[in-house]
């Protein structure tokens, strides 16, 4: 599964393509500066500037905006990485991916494995692809701190100490606040939010001690805008977003680990089985994303070894400002999304949530004895070709 490197994304000519052209031309100092210098210091350029003073003025303004944008991006990148560099030896790094049995997570795992990077998959679902010897699959209920602790010990014994954690696992129920049961809501938060805490508490301490590593939080643009039938999902993703922000601050101020990187992913609607039936009402500006598009963006950032925020598609950056908008606009946008989930029939990670929690609660004593518990399996599986 080679990386996509074409000018047009997999989704075709969309709003992001227009933004890319603007960034690479009208707001690119590397393009604008030579033009301004030619207009100022060459005879033909001077003549053009005299004949077209308005165009020349706009060219200089674009150059100023482009330079400001470049400086802003430079300082943001440096601040996010605490002004310190770090090196990753990918022949020695170990990446943990939650929810890596399929979907976006599965694509991430396969892309990393193709580069001969050791990848550990934590999922309660079986793998949906043929994995290479560099992929280690552990059937694990990541909503259980006790189960996760046991599996983490097994990972350290059989694979090694993980240095990159990608919290990718996610679920969506697609029900209204009143229709969703207490366990529906609990399950959404257990997977989408609380599991981030449990996995981080297991694997971050070693990264802090080594002052080396990375935690990737896969949130969603739903963290910025909530629509009907997605209240619990959006709330859990907003909490995951806040988790990332707080963890980033703690790494710099509490743990003395400035080289431990954090990456936040705010992706839009992605065509995975999890969101089957989702209605996309803005296909040009907010196109449906191919899972490989999201996975490749994450993998590229991980391989850079730098902290960042990934927003896909790029136009979704405008949603981050929604809270500052007038209420008449905010409410109108949320109400406009009332038809998004009317035909929702996405795949359920756990078909019977009530049974899941009944077995979980009933098997608590057994979990303490065997170390794995409900949904974890009794062994660690090394997946080979």
Active-site positions read: 233
Give all strands of the β-sheet with 308-312 in edge-to-edge order.
308-312, 260-267, 213-218, 164-167, 94-98, 118-123, 135-139, 381-382
Nearest to 213 by CA among 152, 263, 157: 263
Q: Would you give the DSSP letter of residue 13?
A: S
Contact status, residue 101 vs residue 168, Cβ threshold 8 Å: no
Let me know if 75 is exposed, middle or buried by CB neighbors in 10 A (0-12, 13-18, 19+). Answer: exposed
Q: Is 181 helix (H, G, I), strand (E, B) or coil?
A: coil
Separation between Cα atoms, residue 55 and residue 1, nearest integer Å: 46
Instruction: Give which of 143, 68, 122 is closest to 356, Cα–Cα.
Output: 143
Q: In angstroms, rounded to a whole number, what is the distance separating the alpha carbons of residues 213 and 358? A: 37
Structure tokens at 103: 């979907």
């Amino acid at each position: 599964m080679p990386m996509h490197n074409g000018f047009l994304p997999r989704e075709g000519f969309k709003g992001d393509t227009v933004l890319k052209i603007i960034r690479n031309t009208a707001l690119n100092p590397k393009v604008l500066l030579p033009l301004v210098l030619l207009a100022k210091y060459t005879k033909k350029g001077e003549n053009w500037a005299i004949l077209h003073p308005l165009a020349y003025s706009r060219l200089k303004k674009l150059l100023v905006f482009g330079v400001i944008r470049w400086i802003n991006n430079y300082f943001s990148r440096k601040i996010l990485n605490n002004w310190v560099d770090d090196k990753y030896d990918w022949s020695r790094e170990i990446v943990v991916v939650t929810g890596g049995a399929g979907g976006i997570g599965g694509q991430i795992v396969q892309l990393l494995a193709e580069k001969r990077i050791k990848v550990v998959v934590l999922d309660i679902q079986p793998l949906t692809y043929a994995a290479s010897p560099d992929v280690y699959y552990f059937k694990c209920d990541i909503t259980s701190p006790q189960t996760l602790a046991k599996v983490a010990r097994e990972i350290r014994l059989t694979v090694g100490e993980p240095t990159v954690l990608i919290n990718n696992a996610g679920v969506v129920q697609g029900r209204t606040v009143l229709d969703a049961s207490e366990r529906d809501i609990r399950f959404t938060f257990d997977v989408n939010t609380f599991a981030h805490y449990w996995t981080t508490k297991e694997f971050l301490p070693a990264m802090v001690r080594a002052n080396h590593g990375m935690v990737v939080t896969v949130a969603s643009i739903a963290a910025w805008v909530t629509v009907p039938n997605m209240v619990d999902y959006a709330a859990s993703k907003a909490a995951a977003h806040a988790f990332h922000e707080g963890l980033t601050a703690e790494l710099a101020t509490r743990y003395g680990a400035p080289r431990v990187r954090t990456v936040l992913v705010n992706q839009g609607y992605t065509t995975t089985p999890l969101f089957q039936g989702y209605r996309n009402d803005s296909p040009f500006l907010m196109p449906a994303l191919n899972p490989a598009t999201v996975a490749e963006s994450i993998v590229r950032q991980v391989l850079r070894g730098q902290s960042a925020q990934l927003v896909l598609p790029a136009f979704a950056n405008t949603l981050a400002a929604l809270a500052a908008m007038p209420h008449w606009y905010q409410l109108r946008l949320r109400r406009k999304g009332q038809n998004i989930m009317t035909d929702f029939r996405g795949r359920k990670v756990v078909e019977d949530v009530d049974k899941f929690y009944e077995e979980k609660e009933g098997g608590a004593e057994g979990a303490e004895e065997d170390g794995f518990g409900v949904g974890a399996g009794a062994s660690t599986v090394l997946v080979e070709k």
